[in-house]
Amino acid sequence: MAEDASVNDRLFFALWPDPDVQARLASLAAAYEGRRVATENLHLTLAFLGLTDTDRRACYERAAQTVPFVPFDLVLTEVQWQRRRGIAWMAARGVPAELTALVSALNDALRKCGFTPEARPFRAHVTLARKVRRGGRVEPDPIRWRVDRFWLVSSQLAPGGSRYTPERCWPTPA
């Protein structure tokens, strides 16, 4: 019997930029020779959940409803490239207190569903390219991003790269 795809969704929570911010981020990836992240997939991961069954997903969604959220501006200021890992990304030099509080509250809420947060400290960044073989030094203008919600996103693995679909957001727009 074929397995129902909705039973084991690959999920994560993320900040999802508007198309203008995504386009500005994508233009920076052109400086790197590698596999660029598709413009429509550019995001900032808050918590990677992995393969998730229907019951666990419902728990994660209930948990997200309890997370206090205050809109904030995130300013991405620097592009970095790690040759050894082959990844280029844009990062925020300073992480807004509201983002730090969001990640902490989200992790605390998800723990009640059996989620184990990353042991590494949270780093606010957007991956621009993977498998980077060469890159130039990029001095970008800061990108100001107004964050007014966070998203549950599904990920489908495909030969040309993953496809991400924002599924649900919090707070829910009025």
Segment 20-46, tens digit of pLDDT: 999 999 999 888 888 999 999 999 999
User: What residues are annotated to the active site?
Assistant: 43, 125
DSSP letter string, 104-127: HHHHHHHHTTT----SSPP--EEE
How far apart CA 114 and CA 144 sit, in angstroms, is 34
C-alpha span between 57 and 99 (Å, rounded): 23
Q: What is the mean pLDDT of residues 67-90?
A: 92
State how many domains the chain has: 1
Containing 33, the helix (H) or strand (E) segment is strand 32-36
Q: CB-hemisphere CA count at 13 Å for 111? A: 8
Question: What gap in Å lies between CA 22 and CA 19, rounded to an integer?
Answer: 5
**Residue 48 is part of which domain span?**
5-170
| CATH number of the domain to which 84 belongs | 3.90.1140.10
pLDDT of residue 174: 61
| Nearest of 70, 77, 48 to residue 139 by alpha carbon | 77
- For residue 72, what pLDDT is reported? 97
